[in-house]
Structure 1
Amino acid sequence: MSTSPRPPSITSKVEDERYENKGEASSGVISPPLHRPVKNGDAALAILGEGAARREITEEENAAVLRKIDRWVLSVMLMVYFLQQLDKSSLSYTSVFGIVSETGLVGTQYSWLSSIVYVAQLIWQPCSSYFLVKLPLSKYLFFHVFMWGVCVAASAAATNFKGLITARFFLGLFEATVGKCGITLALQQWWRRREQTTRLALWFAMNGCTGMVGSLLTYGLGHIQGKLHPYQVIFLFIGSLTIVCSPIVYFVLPDSPSKARFFSHEEKIVALERLRANNMGTEAKVWKWDQVREVLLDIKTYLWFSLLFLCAVPSGGIGAFGPLIIQGFGFNQFDTILFNIPFAAFQVVLTVLAAIISTKIKLKWPVIFFASLPPIAGSAALYTLGRGPALRHELLGCYYVLSFFTALQPMLYTWSSQNTAGHTKKTCTTGIVFVAQCAGNACILGPLVYKTQDKPYYKPGLVCDLICWILLTVLTLVTAAYLAFLNKRHANQRVALGKAGKVIDTSLETIGEGKRREAAESADDGETAENLQSFDDLSDLVNEDFIYVL
């Protein structure tokens, strides 16, 4: 077998396998890649077959398969995240019902109970990223969901700082896998890029649902009079709820589209063909060190890390101290819990609304930029205004304005995930993004800039939040400009390979829109890409057909 000359603009030796011909003499013209699985390709090729020829699917087929995916996969994802946020937020609920005084917490000990969760996640995240590639997703997630429920329930037995911080450490250890890392990978395996934003938004909206349901639960549980302290009742109930629900993950959630028992063979083909335009693949059980190296050398990695870090610092502080901030406006413990519900409701509305707008305009950066502005105004107002009963309604309104920041994290997660391809690279990038969340917001730095001795003003925390949101707006513009540069570079690579330079990203359109556009295709709009390398498990920088989402 002879091989055609190595084409220009290829930056990885992985591509050498993609330019073999069928024995024809080399004519200096580059042959298109064969439709066959490359070495270490995606699991989808086992279903699509060695030919991996593009199979046209109808709108009806697409809609039927999508309904099944939403019913069996999305519903489990939403339940898992709801339980995770409920368990994680249990500490903030107990803060209003005397956990600080009942367990003798002093200084920054309460802050560390929140931060230790993310210290544990940072420790376990590298190992978790590796196991998510090597092990079945649903079984791995089930074990961790069950065990973190045990940790929350066991927190009820803790009566001092040592016992609480031990239980919280193991809670973080088991939540490291289930959180954004595991669920983001599942998102990339099942939905087109157009669909991912709204699904991830619904997932993050569960945080708001948790705030509403958790506040009402806490309000009721706080009235229980018995031998147990209110904080113990809250921990015990919430942890037990997670333990009871965890088997659903094992029995319902599939490991990947190619292994879904609720699909027929034909439906599996449709489910996989839906993802072809993503150029992101589905699943590969081979750990590729060249993709790990690419992650470390990719400028986007550091942009995603910085964006999530800046978003996470305010989120962690407000998440842990939100009820205490409201209580500082002059409300009692039960009113504080109830006034936390509107904030959670705003979170649901704003998160879903941001996703709808982003999907409609097919852009992420404008939504992220403009959603950062109201929190800047709200935190500046809270810093400036005094405290006391006379101002408590104005202060509460300013606090609710901060809720716009809750739309930022899902946008940033989808922005990073939609611009990363290659299974190992996706796993590593998601892990790094998750580390940014842990290190910044999620409660290593975030809650520590908020301290109980700073009540009721919490000015150091508000200043820190203000700086983070301002920097976030600037870095959002920088990231969008860099992605536009990468798209231009890929276009030049396609031209050098004899392909169309200007192509249409059909992954951001519905199946029907893509077909209508293809039928009315013009030179001005660009050509519809064939996406023949979608399941070759290539990274986004290596695959010249990959189009970055701005």
Structure 2
Amino acid sequence: MDQTSSTDKTKEASFGLPGLKIANASSASLDKAIVYLEKHAASQSDTATVDHALLVRKIDRHIAPIALAAYTLQLLDKLDLNYAAVMGLNKDLKLAGNDFNNAASWMYIANLIAEFPTGYIVQKVRPGKWLGFNIILWGVVTACTAAVTNYRGLVATRVVIGILEAATAPCLMLITAEGMWYTKSEAILRFAIWYGGLGTAQMLGSLISWGFQQVTHEALSGWRIMFLALGCVTAVAGVWALFSMPDSPMEASWLTETEKRVAIQRVAINQTGIKNTHFKWRHLQELVLDPQIWLLTSAVVLTSLTSGVVSFYSTTLIRNFGFSAVRSALLNMPSGAVSLLSCLVTAYFGHKYDNRALGQAFLAGVYLVNMETVTLFLVFCLTTANVAGQTKRVAANALISGAFSVGNIIGPQLFKPKDAPQYIPAKIILLVTQIVTAMITTALRVYYGWQNSKRDVAEKRERERADVKVEDIANIEWLNRADISSLLNRFPNRRCSNRPRK
């Protein structure tokens, strides 16, 4: 006999399927989370036994280490070319003129092209598995770089690595996004953990380069051994991600059924959904017409120009001051510390005051090259926080990642060999782009404030109408609606996350 109280049944019913007739939605539009909740009913008393703080820590233990490792290794596989340049790669491969710059740019050209199909694939497949599969393959290709003997071989390996690494940022943004595992207030700190892999990679890369410069071998140069070792480590990490990275709360084997329900219910407030494989062309149309997307994209392109300094020329620039190759590698470590600490500090204040866009405007104007990573990190946060609808979200993630590639394609080309050792034209361009980025992010802050004001007025007007009922929009968070053209605009519970929700 069913012993569930009528009160529990009433509360449980609030998690039921929404009225499809009212929402004008098909079953394909429903998020997988609400379908799971319907199939795995549990009483309110069962879910009440789950400690939310302990649950979040459990989620962190299974996601954060893999995410940090994946992003750190991706950046190491980019930075290894930077360190190899002072370890004899240019001489061994007989690179001349702009060959090194072109090899760096070709990786990002391939990455840019691959981002667009990746955006579609990530929505259709299990993101954790897709991430692990790609990490394994790019680890193998990185190891194969040790066998390269000329410019063409170097370009070929960089192109393949660029294609395979295209999955990393979109997968991590989707998995750690507010909506799948974390609330808005929690997500920014989790983003900082894995995005801090950039600074971690810079520091580790400096030590790794220094270490392999001490290695002497008759058959293999130090830089070749470095590529071989990093490739093997990356492939092992890929196997770890393949079998351990969860794809969604519904598919996490280390959560009990009750914990899965609580994990889903606690993020419903984000109103961005968890998982939906239904591709919607309407979401892409809205993406194209969304001003915030183009402001964010422009900021990423301009800011990423400085990544040419961080990723490919920082060690070379240091060496041009007269330091040896070994000491140049070690002197590059503080830049990684600046990147990591600025990211963590920004995440802390962003979490405390929930004012991400304003923080960008300030930091973008500071001419500290390694602090440009903060702007990129905040753009990732804003994208996942303010973009709803699964197709629009994955497409936006791919577009932002593609914008990062555009900046990195252009960046290395700014440092012409003829301008060495001061590279004055490149430095002037980078300074101007940082000023323009500050202007763009300020405009973004103004746009979010304007949007919130509009939604405040619309919400007040709609609530005053007698025919609007709260139950009409029940479970709207699971309808796979985009953030502009959806019912969220008609009855706006979501707010652009440049300020706290009141």
With normalisation by structure 2, the TM-score equals 0.88
Counterpart of 1:268 in structure 2 is 260
Whether contact under 8 Å (1:364, 1:415) holds in the other structure is: yes
Q: Do the aligned partners of 1:113 and 1:165 also contact (CA within 8 Å) in 2?
A: yes
Alpha-carbon contact 1:61-1:270 (below 8 Å) kept: no
Equivalent position of 1:357 in the other structure: 349
**Alignment match, 2:212:** 221
**1:539 is aligned to 2:457:** no
In structure 2, distance between residues paired with 1:59 and 1:152 = 47
1:410 aligned onto 2:399: no
Equivalent residues in 2 for 1:229-244, closer than 5 Å: 229-244=221-236
- Decide which structure has greater helix share: 2
Change in Cα spacing, 1:59 to 1:311, as seen in structure 2 (3 Å) is farther
Quick check: 1:55–1:273 contact (8 Å CA) kept in 2?
A: no
- The answer to whether the Cα contact below 8 Å between 1:138 and 1:255 also exists between their aligned partners in 2 is yes
- Look up the match of 2:84: 94
* Structure 2 Cα separation of the partners of residues 531 and 450 of structure 1: 55
Deviation string for 1:356-404 (max 9, x for gaps)? 01111111122112212321xxxxxxxxxxxxxxxxxxxxxxxxx4322
The residue that corresponds to 1:312 in the other structure is 304
**Structure 1 residue runs of 4+, over 6 Å off?**
50-60
Deviation at 1:337, TM superposition (A): 0.5
Aligned to 2:8: none
Q: Any idea what SS the aligned residue of 1:225 has?
A: coil
Q: Which amino acid aligns with 2:115?
A: Q
CA distance in 1, matches of 2:432, 2:192: 25
Work out which of the residue numbers 119, 136, 139 in structure 1 matches 2:126: 136
Residue 125 (structure 1) aligned with residue 92 (structure 2):
no
Secondary structure of the corresponding residue to residue 159 of structure 1: coil
**Percent of residue pairs identical:** 26
Describe how 1:258-297 pairs up with structure 2 within 5 A: 258-297=250-289
Tell me, in whole angstroms, the C-alpha distance in 2 between the residues paired with 1:60 and 1:212.
40
| Aligned-partner Cα distance in 2 for 1:260–1:444 | 38
Which secondary structure state, in structure 1, belongs to the residue aligned with residue 77 of structure 2? helix
Matched, 1:344 2:309: no
**Structure 1 residue corresponding to 2:189, chosen from 195, 198, 203:** 198
> Cα–Cα, structure 1 residues 59 and 97, in superposed 2: closer, same or farther, change >3 Å?
farther
Matching of residue 325 in structure 1 with residue 317 in structure 2: yes
Q: Is the 8 A contact 1:146 1:243 kept in 2?
A: yes
1:79 and 2:69 equivalent?
yes
The count of corresponding residues between Structure 1 and Structure 2 is 467
- The worse-fitting range, judged by mean Cα deviation, of 417-426 and 402-411 is 402-411
Structure 2: how far apart are the matches of 1:260 and 1:270? 13
Shift of 1:198: 1.1
Q: Structure 1 residue 316: deviation in Å?
A: 2.6
Alignment of 1:49 onto 2:38: yes
Matches of 1:351 and 1:211, distance apart in 2: 14
Q: Does 1:182 align with 2:171?
A: yes
Which residue matches 1:116?
106
Aligned: 1:419 with 2:411: no
Q: What amino acid sits opposite 2:478 in the alignment?
A: F
Counterpart amino acid of residue 450 in structure 2:
F
How far, CA to CA, are the matches of 2:241 and 2:464 in structure 1? 44
1:254 CA displacement: 1.4
Distance in 2 of aligned mates of 1:303 and 1:366: 14
* CA distance 1:444–1:59, change in 2 (3 Å): farther
Aligned to 2:15: none
**Correspondence list, 1:495-510, <5 A:** 495-498=460-463
Query: Aligned pair 1:491/2:481, yes or no?
Result: no
Sort the Cα spacing of 1:257 and 1:482 in 2 relative to 1 into closer, same or farther, 3 A.
Answer: same
Match of 2:52 among 57, 62, 73: 62
Distance across 2 between alignment mates of 1:135 and 1:206 = 25
Code of the residue aligned with 1:535 in structure 2: it is W
Alpha-carbon distance between aligned partners in 2 of 1:70 and 1:214, rounded to the nearest angstrom:
26
Q: TM-score, normalised by structure 1?
A: 0.81
Give the one of 406, 409, 419 matched to 1:444. Answer: 409
What is the alpha-carbon distance in structure 2 between the residues aligned to residue 419 and residue 197 of structure 1?
13
Cα shift at 1:268: 0.7
Cα displacement (A) at 1:405: 2.1
Query: Partners of 1:137 and 1:170 in 2: how far apart?
Result: 20
Per the alignment, residue 367 of structure 1 pairs with: 359
Deviations 1:448-507 (A, max 9, x none): 10123322101121111101110011111111111122222223333343379xxxxxxx
Shift of residue 531, structure 1, vs aligned partner: 7.1
Check whether the contact 2:386–2:496 (CA below 8 A) recurs between aligned residues. Answer: yes
**Alignment gaps of 5+ in structure 1:** 1-16, 22-32, 376-400, 501-526
Give matches, 1:137-152, under 5 Å: 137-152=127-142
5 Å-filtered alignment, 1:364-403, equals: 364-375=356-367, 401-403=368-370
Letter in 1 for 2:38: G
**Inter-partner Cα distance in structure 2 for 1:150 and 1:82:** 17
Q: CA RMSD in A?
A: 2.5
